[in-house]
Structure 1
Amino acid sequence: MHTFKTTLKILLAQRLMILIYVVWLCLMMFGLSWSIIAGLAKSDNSTTFDSARPEVAVVSRDVHGEAFGDALRGFLGKDCDLVDVGTTSEELQTAAASNYADLIVIVPDGYTQRLADALADGGEEPQLDVVVSFTGAYGSLARLQVDDFLRLTRLKALARQSATGAATTPATLGDAATQVVATLADDADAYPAIHVADDPKAASDRQESARVAYVTTVKMGVYPLLAAMLVCTALTMTSFAESNVRRRLYASPQRTGAMVIQEFAGCALFGVVVSLLYWAASLALPALAGLPIDGVPLPTILYSGASLVSYALIAVAAGFMISMLSANAVAVNAIANVFGLLIMFTSGMAFPVDMMPKVMIAIGKLLPGWWFCQSVDAVNGVDGRVDAGAWLSCNGLVLLFGVAFICLGLAFSKLRRNRPDLSTPGATQLAEA
């Protein structure tokens, strides 16, 4: 028990490593997770709807078609935002090249006269000059509205021509276009407003966001927990391997195996505490973002918490293995970061599994991070389903990695005991007086 308490004192004395690997590294992962959680918290639009309004410019060059151009602007202004792009060729080219508007409609000079002549004798109708934005579909949708305006104006002009028998002129064409806008303005059903009914699944949408946020945060612990526990455990247990300490330990009546077990137990306790704190933070982040925690199924919370604890224990086992090599602090930090990053990028946490090449997946399955993430996915609570069998098998594989690390560490320890490297001289040297 004395060795256990000493291990905890040595472990807690490593304030710099705890600050860097436990505090700072976990905060960095929480920062990444928060950016995802904040997006999930804002993405719920189950009960709101904002209609997109394309930006449209109407340029009229027809000196006899001012009424027609004004009517076209009035028609489009109901569902579009009208912008000014100028009238000169240079200004229009600049607007088109810079994609300033979603749609530019140009009424050419003499357009209303040619359209009136076409309606009078049944000839081919002239076309407006249009420039549609190349970056989205809003311009194409606005162009459909322009076609509707032309169709309604043509019908209105033909109805007047049929009723009066008089030929259509640019003036009467402008009157017909103005009447179209006025008629639609008086018709309440012409521009129906969109009413959004309350979605009975709106609450479940936010609950689903909370579940995704929690599971994502838990899986992000694959790197900080491994790196933190590996470094802290390795440095703590390596301090017992210093020459003077080893010489006193070998001279003590306590068995070496019992001391090693107490050292490992002290580091394991620290790993369990850190993993539980990480687990609590994973629950707190969605709540801080305003997402309902009750959206995360209770089995998901409990099973994933157990996965974090088991993963922290195999990280402690990895640190025990490294400590048996008597590596210095620089080597321990290098091993922790390289091994941790390798596990992070091959575990399926950093990238979706369907986007990972087969080589990365094969490497990931040879490392504990893959099976940790798989255990969390098995109980992620999609549609309330929890696969306890898959979770148990994945965590069993994770713990087997821990057993393998411990066995390798014991093998390294035995080699070191068989070939002790104590700093004392081979024989006592008498000092000369």
Structure 2
Amino acid sequence: MHTFKSTLKVLLAQKLMILIYVVWLCLMMFGLSWTLITDLSASDSSVHYESAKADVAVVNRDPHGADLVGAMREFLAKDCNLVDVGTTSEDLQTAAASNYADLIVIVPDGYTQRLADALTTNGDEPKLDVVVSFTGAYGSLAKLQVDDFLRLTRIEALAQQTQTGAAVTPAALNTAADAVINTLADDAGAYPQINVADDPGAASDKQESARTAYVMTAKMGVYPLLAATLVCTALAMNAFSAANVRRRLYASPQHTGAMVMQEFAACALFGAIVSLLYWGISMALPALAGLPISGIPLPTLLYSGASLVLYALVGVASGFMISMLSANSVAVNAIANVFGLLVMFTSGMAFPIDMMPHVMIIIGKLLPGWWFCQSIDAVNGMDGHIDAGLWLANNAIVLLFGVAFICLGLAFSKLRRLRPELAAPGATQLAEA
């Protein structure tokens, strides 16, 4: 028991490694997961609708049509975004070339007078100068609204002419345009709004997003859990592998195997605590994003939590194997990062499996990360489906990797004992008081 407590003290003394691998690396994965979770939370549009609006610029060059153009802008503002592109030819050319507006409407000089004359004589109506965007249909739809406004104005002006018997003038057109706007303002149905009925599946959409967010976050533990437990375990057990420490341990009456088991048990406890903390934060992130935690089936939570703990124990076993090689801290960090990244990119977490090359899939199946992700997929709760048998089979393979790492570590330990480096120095060294 003394060795167990000493190992825990050695583990907790590695503050820098814990800060880098347990805190910072996990926070980095949680940050990536949070970005995806917030997108899932904001993507649910089952109970609201917001239509896109065209960007329209109206340029007036007719001094007699100020009221007509003002009424046109007010009419378009109900369903379009009015933008300013300037009035000079250079400004208009720049706006058209840069596609700044979906529609540019230019009212030429004398347009109001020519329109009034056309209505009086029943001649051809003048045309506005329009520039429609070449990248979408919003400009064409906005042009239909301009034509609709002019049609309503023409009808109102002809109605006034019928009542008074006077010819249509620019002033009469301006008055007709104002009358159109006032009439539409008093009509509640003139600008109908799109009403979206409540979707009975809206709550389930949110719940599905919560389940997807949790499963995605849990699978992201494939890299930080492995790297953190490997590094911390290897460095902690390396502390007991120094020549002077081993000499004292071998001289003690306690069996070496019992001491190693206590060291491994302490590291396993550390790995289990780290995995449980990761599991708890994985459950908290969807709730913090406003997604209902009730959308995650309870079996999915329990089975995936067990998968995280078992996977962390495999990381401890790999750290035990590395410690038996007596690698220094630089080598341990290099092995942890290379091995961890290899496991992550071949596990199916970083890329969809159907997009991965066949070689990567083969390599992934030779590593524990693939089977860890498969175990979570087996109980991800999609459509309420939980395959406990497949989960158990995948985790059995994960544990076999842990057993293999332990066996390799014991083999390396035996080789080290066959070639001990416990001989005393060639020269006698005086002990310092």
Counterpart position of 1:374: 374
Return the TM-score normalized by structure 2: 0.85
Query: Which residue number in structure 2 is paired with residue 284 of structure 1?
Result: 284
Instruction: Kindly state the Cα deviation for residue 412 of structure 1 after the two structures are TM-superposed.
Output: 1.5
Give the Cα separation in 2 of the matches to 1:393 and 1:136. 53
Gaps of 5+ in 1: none
Q: Which amino acid aligns with 1:13?
A: A
Deviation at 1:155, TM superposition (A): 6.6
Structure 1 residue aligned with 2:219: 219
Match of 2:269 in 1: 269
1:429: Cα distance to partner? 6.5
CA distance in 2, matches of 1:5, 1:62: 90
Contact 1:307/1:395, CA 8 A, preserved across alignment: yes
Deviation at 1:123, TM superposition (A): 8.3
> Taking structure 1 as reference, are residues 231 and 71 closer, same or farther at Cα in structure 2, changes over 3 Å only?
same
**Residue in 1 aligned with 2:397?**
397
In the aligned structure 1, how far is the partner of 2:335 from the partner of 2:273?
Answer: 23
Correspondence for 1:364: 364
Asked whether the 8 Å contact 1:223–1:341 carries over to 2, the reply is yes
Distance 2:80 2:224 in 1: 50
TM-score, normalised via structure 1 length: 0.85
| 1:360–1:149 distance in 2 versus 1, CA, 3 Å | farther
Aligned runs of 1:23-62 on 2, under 5 Å?
23-62=23-62
Cα distance change on mapping 1:346 and 1:122 into 2, 3 Å: farther
Give, in whole Å, the separation in 1 of the partners of 2:41 and 2:74: 39
Native 8 Å contact 1:343 1:369 kept in 2: yes
- What residue is the counterpart of 1:353 in the other structure? 353
Aligned to 2:336: 336
Quote the Cα distance in structure 1 between the aligned partners of 2:17 and 2:82.
Answer: 60
Tell me the secondary structure at the aligned position of residue 195 of structure 2. Answer: coil
Cα displacement string for residues 327-359 of structure 1 (whole angstroms, at most 9, x for unaligned residues): 011110111112112222332333343444444
Question: Structure 1 155/393 Cα, relative in aligned 2: closer, same or farther at 3 Å?
Answer: farther
Q: 1:402 to 1:147 in 2, by over 3 A?
A: farther
Alpha-carbon distance in structure 2 between the residues aligned to 1:430 and 1:184: 104
Residues 251-330 of structure 1 mapped to structure 2, 5 A cutoff = 251-330=251-330
Task: Evaluate the alpha carbon distance shift between residue 55 and residue 429 of structure 1 in structure 2; reply closer, same or farther with a 3 A threshold.
Answer: closer
- How many matched pairs? 430
Post-superposition CA distance 1:66-90 (Å, at most 9, x none): 5543443232122223333332212
Distance 2:66 2:15 in 1: 79
Q: Which amino acid aligns with 1:239?
A: A
Q: Distance in 2 between matches of 1:389 and 1:312?
A: 21
CA distance in 1, matches of 2:144, 2:199: 31
The answer to whether the Cα contact below 8 Å between 1:102 and 1:138 also exists between their aligned partners in 2 is yes
What code does the residue aligned with 2:367 have? L
Deviation of the 1:138 alpha carbon: 3.9
Return 242-251 or 129-138, whichever deviates more.
129-138
> Which residue identity lines up with residue 417 of structure 1 in the other structure?
R
Runs (5+) with no aligned partner, structure 2: none
Corresponding residue number in structure 2 for 1:79: 79
In the alignment, which residue of structure 2 is the partner of 1:14?
14
More displaced, 76-85 or 46-55?
46-55
Q: CA deviation at 1:386?
A: 2.0
Shift, 1:217, TM fit: 1.9
* AA matched with 2:274: V
Measured in 2, the distance between the counterparts of 1:415 and 1:60 equals 91
Which amino acid is 2:396 matched to? G
Query: Partner residue of 1:149?
Result: 149
By how many angstroms is 1:210 displaced?
2.2
Q: 1:340 to 1:114 in 2, by over 3 A?
A: same
Secondary structure in structure 2 of the residue aligned to 1:248: helix
Q: Deviations over 1:155-204 (max 9, x none)?
A: 77788999999998877766665555455444332211233433333333
Residues 71 and 341 (structure 1 numbering): CA distance in 2 closer, same or farther, change over 3 Å?
Answer: same
RMSD: 3.5
SS in 2 for 1:101: coil
Contact 1:271 1:312 in 2 (8 A): yes
Deviations 1:72-113 (A, max 9, x none): 323212222333333221232333345443321112345566
How much does 1:288 deviate? 3.0
Distance 2:132 2:353 in 1: 39
Aligned residues of 1:233 and 1:267 also touching (Cα < 8 A): yes
- Shift of residue 417, structure 1, vs aligned partner: 1.7
Q: Percent of pairs identical after alignment? A: 77
Q: Matched residues in 1 for 2:319 and 2:57: separation? A: 67
Name the structure 2 match of 1:95.
95
Determine the C-alpha separation between the residues in 2 that align with 1:190 and 1:145.
13
SS in 2 for 1:267: helix
Looking at structure 2, the residues matched to 339 and 287 of structure 1 have their Cα atoms a distance apart, in angstroms, of 32
Contact 1:243 1:423 in 2 (8 A): no
Give the Å deviation of 1:223.
1.4
Question: Residue type matched to 2:203 in 1?
Answer: A
- Which residues in structure 2 correspond to 1:118-267 (within 5 Å)? 127-133=127-133, 138-150=138-150, 152=152, 180-267=180-267
Q: CA deviation at 1:122?
A: 8.9
Alpha-carbon distance in 1 for matches of 2:151, 2:371: 63
**1:271 aligned partner, one-letter code:** G
Distance 2:358 2:113 in 1: 67
**Displacement of 1:316 after TM fit?**
0.6
The 1:184/1:300 distance shift into structure 2, 3 A limit, reads same
Q: Matched residue of 1:106: which SS?
A: strand
Secondary structure at 2:373 match in 1: helix
Give, in whole Å, the separation in 1 of the partners of 2:224 and 2:256: 31
Judging changes above 3 Å, is the alpha-carbon distance between structure 1 residues 120 and 208 closer, same or farther for their aligned structure 2 residues? same
363-372 or 294-303: bigger deviation: 363-372
* Higher mean C-alpha deviation, range 274-283 or range 177-186: 177-186
